[in-house]
Each structure stands twice: as C-alpha cells, then as structure tokens.
Amino acid sequence: KAGVTQTPRYLIKTRGQQVTLSCSPISGHRSVSWYQQTPGQGLQFLFEYFSETQRNKGNFPGRFSGRQFSNSRSEMNVSTLELGDSALYLCASSLQVSNQPQHFGDGTRLSIL
C-alpha cells in the first residue's frame, strides 16, 4: 500500500513569492492534515481537511491556505512568502479524523531566500 506522497521534496523561493505544496494521502484515507516543522517552534498544526472541507485551523496567518479535492488529495498554499516560512512542511493522512493514527509523508523542505 503506497504511503503518503508529498511533492516536491525540496523547494527554494524568494521573499514575496507564493508556493503550492501537494499531498496525496494513503488510499482510502479521507482526512488530511498539514504541519509546519521548524527548529524553533517544533511541529505545529496548520489545518485539517475532510471531504473537501477545512475542519480546523491552527494559529497561522491567512497567508497559509489549503484545499482538498474530491479524491482526497490536498494542496497547501503560502502567499507572500517570508523568511520565517522556511520549514519542513509535513502532510499526514488518517481514515476519518485526526485522532486516529496519522501517517506522515516525507515532507517538503521549503527554503526562502
């Protein structure tokens, strides 16, 4: 069974640009969550999607957004990039809700120059 797939693995952008990251969940999983991991703040919850609806969002500015498609694939978008957005962005999927075991992808490492 294929795991969670995130693309791209690495990305370099400059301040002010925008970026879109992609996540394909495990087949049959309908819940997709996104997390940001930085050395200073650790792992922080961004948002969760289920059936194409955002169910909850963490404490991040509106520049961070996402969506989920009918096949459960998800994208997250960050607009007007700032240096502090440099991080590893992890996507996780679970069957129905995020209190079930979440299975993570390898992440997208975003570097802002």
Interacting residues toward another protein by CB under 8 A:
33, 35, 42-48, 50, 55-56, 58, 88, 90, 92, 97-107, 109
CA distances from residue 4 to 44, 50, 55, 113 in whole angstroms, order as listed? 19, 16, 20, 28
Q: What is the DSSP letter of 83?
A: G
CB of 72 to another protein, least distance (A): 16
35 exposure class (CB count in 10 Å sphere: 0-12, 13-18, 19+): buried
The residue (of 60 and 75) whose beta carbon lies closer to another protein is 60
The residue (of 86 and 104) whose beta carbon lies closer to another protein is 104
Q: What is the C-alpha to C-alpha distance for residues 86 and 109, in angstroms, rounded to an integer?
A: 8
CB of 30 to another protein, least distance (A): 13
